Structure 1
Amino acid sequence: MFFTLSKIFWMVAAPSTLLTLLAVGGLILSLNWRRFGLTLATIGAGGLLLIGLGPFGRMMLVPLEKRFPVFIDDGLRVDGIVVLGGAELPGITAARGQPAFQESAERILALGELARRYPEARIIFSGGSGQLQKSAMQEADVVRLALPQIGLPEGRVMFERTSRNTAENARLTSALVKPAPGENWLLVTSAFHMPRAVGSFRAAGFPVTAYPVDFRTTGDPGYFRLFGSVAEGAGFFELALREWIGLTVYYLTGRIDSPLPAPAAPAGG
């Protein structure tokens, strides 16, 4: 139920959708109620320009991406690596017969690189389908097809292919790998998604070390720098807003124990 409600909510709550409907609806209403309709249309159009050209999406992403620093190999043994899905395009993969990815594909590049860097580590890819409709393929199936392209044999990677969201990634992966106390596991996902992901794994009793990839900003919020197009800025804004809403809902429903999870304090600190 939680998964279904979250998907339905975002279908109607995405700002670009709401503001566009407001602008169009306002123009239609202005045919009979001119002042009221034009006011709504102005709010809708103005809102689209504001989130599309203004720096707000970038400003909201920066603190998420800064929460966990870039991983630095400190020489400690790495027992395992978990890579979360989200970059895969199962529908296009099924239709075209070759693995297709969107702009979070750095997760898959990291999978290949880390598997070679730590040849003794266990590798787990976690990803089913985040779509409401039944998919012809799962995210894990796309990655399985792509393994030869990143130079890995299929047997090198274990697959968890039924999770639908971050909380299920954590719970089902923990049940699959059964990490032992004291093991060091890396978690690979997009930098903006890392706080919610780490918090979810901690809540599942699976402590992990963050390995953030897929950075969308330089770390500079760029308060006075406009986006090049409304579509680009609105994409940033919706990506950041969705993640902040996800953090809030996960915290309020007990799926994470902090509103904005942070790196664990050093032992003895």
Structure 2
Amino acid sequence: MSIVNPLTFFWLFIAVSLLLYKFNRKKTAKYIAILGAAQLFLFSVTPLPVFMIQQLEKQYPVYKGSKNEKLPIHILGNGHADDPSLYPTQKLSFQALERVTEGIRIYNYFNHTRISFSGFAVNKKEPTGNVMAKAAVSLGVSSKDTILFPAPRNTWEEAVAYKKRFGTKNKFILVTNATHMPRAMEVFRSMGMQPIAAPTGFFLKKETGYRYNWWPSTAKIIYTEAAAYEYAAQLYYKWFKL
């Protein structure tokens, strides 16, 4: 997601500014440099990044469910490292690990149910879905309850694979990060499926007291990167997929 990181744009603006300055376009160079500084200020100091994240994360509440409705669980992938010295839980990206732990929470709440994992092999070694399943099993999930989708490379393909395997008649719990949940729900629903959102990995937590403020923060840069990626992906899906 570095392409939508404010720091990436800042240094891009600075590089263009220096290049223009070298070719004696000093006035234009100054404006480009100011623009780069302005966007960095906007996305690392102002309350805007918090607002952007909040608009995504507030769309779906934490899943609480009902034990009278025991549903299957599907967890979307998010990458891992193929480091042979690490256990499966340690190989996962922090987003993937958040998704696995939330899936296990619901799995235990239901006193076991079908739990599936998706995610492809980025480096053509082991698929992320497999690593997520191994991590879940190491944390108490029964291997007989797990199902793998090792081929899907993105949210759209994950939805296609799930529909092909299970159809559209039955409800299921969809687990992914809170910022990603609005797009994931839209994609799965567009194919006629009946997902129930179980968001996790919230950036904004009320107990931290982190709300709107004007303090410079690297966290705001992270918020901007995550939110901008999702908004851009939503537009892409609406224009070319949905």
TM-score higher than 0.5: yes
Aligned-partner residue type, residue 28 of structure 2: F
User: What residue in structure 2 maps to residue 94 of structure 1?
Assistant: 83
In the superposition, the TM-score normalised over structure 2's length comes to 0.85
The answer to whether structure 1 residue 151 and structure 2 residue 140 are counterparts is yes
- Answer yes or no: is 1:204 the counterpart of 2:191: yes
Number of positions where the alignment pairs a residue of Structure 1 with one of Structure 2: 236
Structure 1 counterpart of 2:226? 239
Give the aligned partner of residue 15 of structure 2: 24
Alignment match of 1:71 (pick from 44, 47, 63) = 63
Q: What is the CA RMSD across the aligned residues, in angstroms?
A: 2.4
The Cα shift of 1:15 comes to 4.3
Q: Partner of 1:266 in structure 2?
A: none
User: Within 1, Cα distance between the matches of 2:68 and 2:110?
Assistant: 11
Whole-angstrom CA distance in 2 between matches of 1:84 and 1:77: 21
Could you list the per-position Cα deviations for residues 165-212 of structure 1 after superposition, in whole angstroms to 9, with x for gaps in the alignment?
111111101212335x3x331111111111111111112221111111
Residue 175 (str. 1) matches residue 164 (str. 2): yes
- Write the distance in 2 (CA, Å) between the matches of 1:56 and 1:13: 15
5+ long unaligned stretches in structure 1:
1-9, 256-269
Residues 174 and 51 (structure 1), Cα distance of their counterparts in 2 relative to 1, 3 Å cut: same
Say if 2:110 is the partner of 1:121: no
* Pair 1:249-2:236 in alignment: yes
- Contact kept, 8 Å, 1:78 with 1:185, in 2: the verdict is no
Asked if residue 185 in structure 1 is aligned to residue 164 in structure 2, the reply is no
Label 1:30 to 1:184 Cα distance change in 2 as closer, same or farther (>3 A). same
Report the secondary structure of 1:147's partner residue.
helix
Relative distance call for 1:171 and 1:75 in structure 2 (3 A) is same
Match of 2:40 in 1: 48
Matching residue within 65, 75, 85 for 1:83: 75
**1:5 matched residue in structure 2:** none
Does residue 164 of structure 1 match 2:164?
A: no
What percent of counterpart residues are identical? 24
In structure 2, the CA distance between the partners of 1:227 and 1:79, relative to structure 1 (3 Å rule), is same
Could you tell me which of 51, 54, 60 is aligned with 1:62? Answer: 54
TM-score, normalised by the number of residues in structure 1: 0.78
Unaligned runs of 5+ in 2: none
